[in-house]
Structure 1
Amino acid sequence: ATMDSVHPKLICAAATTVRDAEGLIATPGGIDVHVHFDSAQLVEHAIASGITTMIGGSLGPITVGIDCGGAWNVGRMLQASQQWPMNFGFLGRGNSSKARSLYDQMRGGCLGLKI
């Protein structure tokens, strides 16, 4: 038997995981793609609001922007984010004329570059 609204030809492959969610509420998680990470409380509020992914940067006040500004800073952001049950993506500074600095930031763990 097939549940109502489930397509009878739905393919469940080896990578498919079925979870018993009876009695639970399942909701999609939100993605915030423009975050100024200037305080840890920001992550707490995002989690409480249903946000599951935060993308951005900044190691200072809002006037600084939303990039992490260098490979070393990206590393510190990655290190600081490990304690949170959240998906993070950090943006590097993309305004360099030197390809090496862009490459170093990406290699350091940036999700992308903010231009």
Structure 2
Amino acid sequence: MVVGSNTKVIAAKGKIETAGAIYAHVHFICPQQCPEALSNGITTPIGGGTGPVAGTNATTCTPSCTLIFCEENMLLATDDVPLNILLTGKGNNLQQAGLKDQILSGVGGLKLHKDWGCMPKSIDSCLSVCDEFVVQSP
């Protein structure tokens, strides 16, 4: 560790301070994953899903802006979770409108996955939208 003029000193008397880990391939299947992740030092899970369904088991993306941000959505479900959660949306789409809707609903990236068909035009569509909104395509 480098300690210098840009190093912030914090008072950690009586505390155990540890760095948080990033886990960039999370299938969000059940809420019990969050305390398990935190107890293992993971503070930032990145991935997607909508619970215990086949799509979540197969890929790490949350399809549809209605599942990302609506009455029963993934973003609201994570409000009380003490983790930095980044959701990825489903990036396999020839039409850019649906991809843009997912980003505007709150995902931090779009996931291209072979299980949903990665045709050249859908890859180009996804990467173009990611460039436009400055988000990642993991």
Unmatched segments (≥5 aa) in structure 1: none
Does the residue aligned with 1:47 lie in a helix, a strand or coil?
helix
* Identity within the alignment, %: 37
Q: Which residue is equivalent to 2:115? A: none
Q: Which residue is equivalent to 2:21? A: 30
Given candidates 65, 71, 77, the residue that maps to 1:71 is: 65
**Cα shift readout 1:7-57 (whole Å, capped 9, x = no counterpart):** 5xx334xxx754201343221111111001110101111111111001101
How high is the TM-score relative to the length of structure 2?
0.69
* Residue 81 to residue 6, structure 1, CA distance change in 2 (3 Å): closer
Structure 1 or 2: more helix by fraction = 2
Q: Which residue is equivalent to 2:34? A: 43
Q: Distance in 1 between matches of 2:105 and 2:35?
A: 25
In the TM superposition, structure 1's runs of 4+ consecutive aligned residues that sit over 6 Å from their partners are none
* 2:67 counterpart letter in structure 1: N
Q: Which residue is equivalent to 1:84? A: 81
Q: Specify which structure has the bigger relative contact order, considering alpha-carbon pairs within 8 angstroms and separated by 6 or more residues.
A: 1
Unmatched segments (≥5 aa) in structure 2: 113-138
Give the total of aligned pairs. Answer: 106
Matching of residue 52 in structure 1 with residue 43 in structure 2: yes
The structural deviation recorded for 1:6 is: 6.4
Q: Mark the structure with the bigger radius of gyration.
A: 1
Taking only aligned residues, the RMSD between alpha carbons, in angstroms, comes to 1.9
